[in-house]
């Protein structure tokens, strides 16, 4: 593939998938490896304005510092602003009891979103125009590895469609290209880049699939990689149809009563495919794929039998399956990912809806049970939890922070009312005290382009 062909395919992919507009300022996540360097070159050749962000995770000693120096020189070459942040990744992983890979992912995306929202500050760099999207250099080989790992982890149909070109503010404009094509382009353009020594180690799951599993598969099926890429496109469309059908089943089957969900057994027994529909209904209540057979068994059991997740119980009661929250659910934390339509918790449920702003904020009602937030300032995941001592926020209309304990005193809430208060949190910032007030930092303004509307529905 020659230089011009890859560039044309890059521009065509951006336009076909509607990833961003040509004049949007882009935030390029640049490690210094060949993939991210090629991404910089393609954006420059295509005329897309960008700034560069580099994370120094301090995991490879001097090599990490050399990567940082390289990226700063690369930014100077492209006459681009460069933002660099140093992380103590090992300490973060220990504190949060997670793997190094997960820790690095959480740290970098939290920082990237802070840049987009204007929250992040830097010692020497001030961004004149805030970037609108985060661009990563994931390519089709990465997607193949992701799909294979998802298959063995049992993630279902959503895992089979792999990484999407665009989710919220995260854009992956190189998914159309193979690693070999990017390397060929780099050689042809005489692009300098850094080699990450950790890429050669098989201690990471992705590297093991890359170096061990895929080569063995391709010995038997030489066209395996191309076939998986074709399947990814088909599964993307299949997933859309699948979820549309599931929503129709939910409308037909689910009866919401106070804080419980009733499902008629007779109707459920006539559903096909039963296991898939039951899993899609129950997974939002923290039931696992391995529990679906137990739930199916309830259909033929006597009244009083039940199956339990960490937060909910499904009880057989005569002609009904009843999903109800456990008492312990009062203390659970709910993680809300992008694309969530509804989530249930001890007090009721939250529904999420994104919509365009009309720019006429004075016509939007001020309701305690509804939050209207600036979508450009929101990034996932969100956390839904009970309020805790020491929590504070910036109440709508105020420029100073206030502890929730003081806020409740001012509102004259009783002890019982205070005990029932939940908050919605983003990156350790409370964005909404549910059924009370939003945080002023995330309110909509006349400049808001898109609105996230969240409604609270009490049980």
pLDDT tens column, 174-190: 999 999 999 999 999 99
Task: Domain count for the chain, please give it.
Answer: 3
Query: What is the model's pLDDT at position 98?
Result: 83
Among the candidates 205, 220, 235, a domain finishes at 220
Q: Are residues 425 and 302 in the same domain?
A: no
The pLDDT of residue 340: 84
For residues 163 and 18, membership in a common domain is answered with yes
Examine the domain organization and report whether 315 and 353 are in the same domain: no
pLDDT, one tens digit per residue, over 191-200 is 999 987 666 6
Q: Are residues 8 and 134 in the same domain?
A: yes
Q: What is the mean pLDDT of the chain?
A: 89
Q: How far apart are CA 145 and CA 149, in angstroms?
A: 6
Residues 15 and 60 in one domain: yes
Residues 147 and 197 in one domain: yes
**Burial zone of 379 (CB within 10 Å; 0-12 exposed, 13-18 middle, 19+ buried):** buried
Residues 375-385 pLDDT 10s: 999 998 899 99
Instruction: Note down the domain range covering 400.
Output: 333-458
- Sequence-distant (≥ 6) Cβ neighbours of residue 243 within 8 angstroms: none
Average pLDDT estimate for 311-320: 90
Band of residue 108 on the pLDDT scale cut at 50, 70, 90: very high
**Confidence band (pLDDT; 50, 70, 90) for 123?**
very low
Return the pLDDT at 329.
45
**What is the token pair recorded at 442?**
């995330």
Give domain status of residue 228, yes or no: no
Least confident of 19-28, 154-163, 348-357, 385-394: 154-163
Instruction: Return the pLDDT at 199.
Output: 65
Instruction: Kindly state the tokens that stand for 279.
Output: 């899993």
**What is the pLDDT at residue 203?**
66
Query: Do residues 333 and 311 lie in contact, with contact meaning Cβ atoms separated by under 8 Å?
Result: no
Across the range 284-295, mean pLDDT stands at 91
Quick check: is 304 in a domain? yes
Are 174 and 183 in contact, with CB atoms under 8 Å apart?
Answer: no
Helix 224-253 vs helix 274-282: angle between axes, to the nearest 10 degrees? 80
Task: Kindly report which listed range (18-22, 55-59, 275-279, 300-304) carries the lowest average pLDDT score.
Answer: 300-304
pLDDT of residue 330: 46
Chain centre to alpha carbon of residue 431: 17
Burial 223-239 (b: 16+ CB within 10 A, else e): ebbeebbebbeebeeeb
Quick one: 302 and 353 in the same domain? Answer: no
Tell me: pLDDT of 459 over 80. no
pLDDT above 90: percentage of residues in the chain = 57
Given this model, what pLDDT does residue 156 score?
A: 75
Q: Within this chain, do residues 349 and 290 fall inside the same structural domain, yes or no?
A: no
Distance CA 442, CA 240 (A): 31
Per the domain annotation, does 232 fall within a domain? no
For tokens 């009866």, the residue is: 255
Residue 455 has pLDDT above 90, yes or no: yes
Both structure tokens of 67: 């990567």
Are residues 59 and 192 located together in one domain of the fold? yes
Mean pLDDT on 210-234: 89
Residue 126 has pLDDT above 60, yes or no: no
Q: Is residue 130 part of a domain?
A: yes
In the DSSP assignment, the letter for residue 395 is B
User: Confidence class of residue 1 from pLDDT cuts 50, 70 and 90?
Assistant: low
CATH code: domain of residue 337: 3.50.40.10
pTM beyond cutoff 0.75: no
Average pLDDT over residues 156-173: 90
């Amino acid at each position: 593939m020659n230089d011009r062909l890859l560039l044309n395919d890059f521009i065509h992919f951006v336009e076909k998938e509607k990833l961003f507009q040509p004049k949007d300022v882009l935030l390029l996540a640049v490690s210094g490896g060949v993939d991210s360097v090629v991404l910089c070159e393609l954006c420059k050749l295509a005329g897309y304005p960008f700034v560069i962000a580099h994370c120094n995770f301090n995991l490879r000693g001097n090599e990490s510092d050399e990567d940082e120096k390289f990226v700063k020189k690369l930014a100077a070459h492209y006459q681009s602003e460069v933002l660099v942040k140093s992380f103590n990744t090992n300490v973060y992983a220990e504190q949060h009891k997670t793997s190094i890979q997960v820790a690095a992912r959480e740290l970098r995306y939290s920082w990237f979103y802070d840049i987009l929202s204007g929250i992040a500050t830097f010692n020497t760099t001030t961004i004149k125009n805030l970037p609108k999207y985060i661009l990563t250099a994931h390519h089709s080989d990465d997607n193949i590895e992701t799909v294979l790992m998802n298959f063995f982890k049992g993630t279902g149909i959503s895992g089979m469609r792999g990484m999407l070109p665009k989710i919220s503010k995260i854009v992956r404009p190189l998914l159309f290209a193979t690693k070999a094509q990017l390397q060929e382009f780099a050689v042809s353009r005489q692009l300098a880049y850094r080699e990450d020594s950790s890429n050669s180690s098989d201690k990471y799951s992705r590297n093991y699939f890359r170096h061990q599993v895929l080569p063995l598969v391709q010995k038997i099926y030489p066209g395996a990689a191309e076939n998986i890429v074709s399947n990814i496109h088909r599964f993307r469309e299949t997933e859309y149809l699948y979820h549309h059908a599931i929503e129709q089943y939910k409308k037909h089957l689910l009866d919401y009563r106070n804080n419980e969900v009733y499902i008629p057994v007779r109707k459920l027994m006539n559903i096909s495919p039963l296991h898939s529909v039951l899993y899609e209904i129950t997974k939002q209540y923290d039931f696992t794929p391995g529990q679906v057979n137990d739930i199916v068994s309830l259909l033929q059991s006597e009244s009083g039998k039940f199956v339990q997740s960490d937060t909910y119980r499904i009880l057989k009661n005569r002609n009904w399956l009843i999903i109800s929250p456990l008492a312990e659910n009062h203390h659970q934390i709910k993680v809300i990912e992008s694309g969530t339509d509804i989530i249930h918790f001890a007090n009721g449920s939250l529904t999420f809806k994104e919509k365009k702003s009309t720019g006429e904020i004075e016509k939007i009602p001020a309701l305690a049970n509804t939050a209207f937030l600036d979508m450009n300032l929101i990034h996932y995941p969100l956390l839904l939890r009970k309020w805790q001592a020491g929590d504070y926020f910036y109440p709508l209309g105020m420029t100073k922070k206030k502890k929730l304990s003081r806020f409740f005193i001012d509102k004259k809430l009783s002890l019982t009312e205070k005990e029932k208060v939940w908050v919605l949190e983003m990156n350790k910032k409370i964005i909404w005290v549910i059924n009370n007030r939003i945080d002023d930092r995330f309110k909509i303004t006349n400049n808001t382009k898109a609105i996230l509307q969240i409604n609270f529905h009490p049980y």
